Amino acid sequence: MTDKKDERKLKLIWDFRGPDSTRTAEHHALHLKEFVKTNDISLNITGFEKVNPDYSTAYIVVHESEMKAVRDALKPHRGQVYEE
């Protein structure tokens, strides 16, 4: 079994569009932070990004071994390899 520090990190992303997208993404990120605490996720990386006035994202970063469980529980819109 590989050590978690050697695992790839994956960024699971939710997309929000419209004039309230930033506020919605920020609120969603709060729920993701709560999810990390209550589900003992090994990384504590969550947040939101304002892409433009009508498009924002919220995200959580997980180790690859945790991805399927988190994906199935939270249903992100998409994912990508996380680069620090």
Q: What is the pLDDT of residues 54-66, one digit of tens each?
A: 999 999 999 999 9
Full-model pTM: 0.92
The pair phi, psi for residue 19, each rounded to 5°, is -65, -25
Compute the mean pLDDT over every residue in the chain, rounded to the nearest whole number.
95
Number of domains in the chain: 1
Asked if residue 51 lies in contact with residue 13, where contact means CB atoms within 8 angstroms, the answer is: no
Average pLDDT of 41-64? 97
Asked if residue 80 lies in contact with residue 59, where contact means CB atoms within 8 angstroms, the answer is: no
Parent domain of 62: 12-81
**What percent of the chain shows pLDDT beyond 90?**
89
Q: What tokens were used for 12?
A: 């699971």
Kindly state whether residue 51 falls inside one of the protein's structural domains: yes
Kindly state whether residue 4 falls inside one of the protein's structural domains: no
**What percent of the chain shows pLDDT beyond 70?**
96
